[in-house]
Amino acid sequence: MFNEEVPSKWGKYPVYDQEYVAVYTTYSSLKISLPNWMNIGMVRYINSLEELHPRREQIYLPNCYEDIMWKEKIKFEWEEECRAVVYGGNIEQFDAENFFEAIKDKALVYAPKISLSEILQGVWVHPSCTNEHHDRVNEKLTNNGFLPALK
């Protein structure tokens, strides 16, 4: 997320449930908190695969991350998403308890433990969330030494 959560972004989420939170961090805080063998980058938002793959007559060297680092521009550009990824390597080098299987495509996802106190810059709750939800979020945050959530 960037410096401010734009209120219009909340409208992209389903109306039936406003019990969301958005977490703000910085690129550098996230990068420092991850293992040094993980790569981090911004998702590319494209209109078509032609933007991802140049014309055939051009010399093209594929990027091993491009298949997992793009989304459809019209649907998702508002997200301003950053992803941390690992490509290749020996799966045994990772801590087994930090893997889970992604439901969508059966891919293995590595979720290393990170310290929220090192990366958390702020939390927002949905502007239309209930007071009870806002209070629950704030209780969790303040009980753990963080500032209350913005609404």
Residue 21 has pLDDT above 60, yes or no: yes
Q: Where are the domains of the chain?
A: 1-25+120-151, 26-112
Distances 98 to 18, 40, 110 between C-alpha atoms, Å: 29, 18, 6
Q: What share of the chain is helix, strand, coil (3-state, %, to 5)?
A: 30, 20, 50
With a threshold of 0.85, does the pTM exceed it?
A: no
Q: Tell whether the model's pLDDT for residue 16 goes beyond 60.
A: yes
Are the C-beta atoms of 99 and 109 separated by less than 8 Å? Answer: yes
Residue 30, pLDDT above cutoff 90? no
SS3 at position 24? strand
The mean pLDDT of the chain is 76
Q: What is the pLDDT of residues 31-68, one digit of tens each?
A: 888 887 788 888 888 887 766 665 555 555 556 676 77
